[in-house]
């Protein structure tokens, strides 16, 4: 791992001098939106395809027992129950990372969130709608669209919809602010996620002029984090790299099926390296098992015989 050095001092113009972390890292994303409800409320009001007369006025972070069991490789970042100005409640599940079967995982978890409400509800009419919101740092499909909104629609009359379960996927790499007519604050929030990372040395003034985004930028400054937090930040990126390596290895294995046995041995060694690296990075054995799809006995054998 390569830790980011913390700056000794920031005296002059913070726009030019501050050093930032990447908000797409799930540890940092949760630090900003999971601990600062006013920023999350601003973000959701700007991003979600809410009805024109709907504004989120309050939100409550859901405790762990109210969140559906997560599948391996699925990073759920912030799960909240929102209340709008008309007293309607709905749940938003947010995630940042992408996996090969992303849509199915996202639909499963969003639907599971909807279903599990009945544990504390007596009537179906009391169920709240659920929005699944995903911010993707990779291209989802080959179209030019960057904002994907899914809901159940009547097969003939497209004006008839069922709105209780909706998915919103945003592809940050495709975002082109100069050609978009959506709400200004929505674009600024998405530019914040797309443009700011460890290489940022100067922030566009338009981002700093939006008060909620200015506050979020302050929360991204490296100087705001201690050594343990920076280590956790790096470990998150290590997990993402390990996941991508594993998925790439499984894809290559499928293409090479039936070829020389040496290929299989090479793949196994690559998988073993992933196990060792994740263990050195502090991942629990149970989590490693879920990611590499091996038993605890197999994982322990790799760890303790290396």
- Which tokens go with 278? 């994740």
Integer Cα distance of 14 and 32 in angstroms: 19
Check: CB of residue 27 under 8 Å from CB of residue 232. yes
Q: What is the pTM of this model?
A: 0.66
Long-range contacts of 51-57 (CB under 8 A, 24+ apart): 53/85, 53/86, 54/84, 54/85, 54/86, 54/88, 55/84, 55/85, 56/82, 56/83, 56/84, 57/83, 57/84, 57/85
Q: Radius of gyration (Cα) for the chain, nearest Å?
A: 21
Helix H, strand E, coil C: the string for 246-295 is HHHHHHHHHHCCCCCHHHHHHHHHHHHHHHHHHHHCCCCHHHHHHHHCCC
Check: CB of residue 198 under 8 Å from CB of residue 6. no
Integer Cα distance of 173 and 188 in angstroms: 14
Q: What is the residue-level pLDDT of the chain in tens, covering all 306 positions?
A: 444 444 444 444 544 457 899 998 878 888 898 889 999 999 999 988 888 888 999 998 876 544 433 333 344 567 788 888 887 788 787 776 655 567 787 788 788 888 878 766 578 888 888 888 888 887 777 888 888 899 999 999 989 999 899 998 888 888 876 544 456 899 999 999 999 999 998 999 999 999 999 999 999 999 888 888 888 788 778 777 776 666 555 545 555 554 444 444 544 666 787 788 777 777 788 877 766 678 888 888 888 875
- pLDDT value at residue 252: 52
- pLDDT value at residue 135: 84
- Which tokens go with 21? 């972390």
Integer Cα distance of 292 and 284 in angstroms: 13
Please give the DSSP secondary-structure letter assigned to residue 120.
S
Strand order in the sheet with 76-84: 56-61, 76-84, 89-95, 130-136, 161-171, 147-153
- pLDDT value at residue 6: 44
Three-state DSSP at 30 gives helix
pLDDT tens digits, residue range 158-175? Answer: 899 998 999 988 888 888
Strand partners, 58: 83
């Amino acid at each position: 791992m390569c830790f980011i050095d913390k700056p000794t001092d920031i005296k002059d113009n913070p726009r030019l001098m501050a050093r930032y972390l990447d908000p797409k890292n799930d540890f940092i994303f949760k630090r900003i939106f999971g601990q600062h409800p006013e920023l999350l409320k601003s973000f959701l009001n700007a991003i979600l395809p809410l009805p024109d007369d709907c504004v989120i006025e309050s939100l409550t972070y859901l405790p762990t027992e109210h969140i559906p069991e997560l599948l391996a490789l699925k990073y759920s970042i912030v799960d909240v129950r929102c209340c709008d100005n008309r007293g309607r409640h709905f749940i938003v599940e947010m995630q940042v990372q992408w996996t090969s079967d992303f849509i199915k995982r996202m639909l499963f978890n969003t639907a599971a969130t909807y279903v599990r409400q009945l544990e504390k509800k007596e009537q179906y009419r009391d169920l709240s709608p659920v929005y699944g919101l995903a911010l993707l740092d990779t291209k989802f499909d080959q179209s030019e669209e960057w904002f994907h909104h899914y809901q159940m629609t009547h097969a003939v009359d497209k004006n008839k919809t069922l709105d209780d379960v909706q998915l919103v996927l945003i592809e940050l790499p495709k975002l082109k602010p100069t050609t978009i007519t959506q709400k200004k604050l929505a674009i600024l929030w998405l530019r914040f996620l797309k443009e700011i990372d460890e290489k940022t040395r100067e922030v566009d003034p338009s981002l700093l002029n939006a008060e909620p985004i200015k506050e979020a930028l302050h929360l991204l400054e490296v100087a705001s984090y201690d050594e343990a937090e920076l280590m956790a930040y790096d470990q998150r990126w290590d997990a993402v790299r390990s996941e991508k390596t594993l998925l790439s290895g499984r894809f290559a294995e499928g293409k090479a099926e039936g070829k020389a046995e040496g290929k299989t041995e090479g793949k196994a060694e690559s998988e073993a390296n992933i196990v060792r690296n994740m263990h050195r990075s502090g991942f629990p054995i149970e989590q490693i098992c879920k990611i590499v799809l091996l038993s605890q006995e197999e994982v322990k054998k790799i760890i303790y015989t290396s």
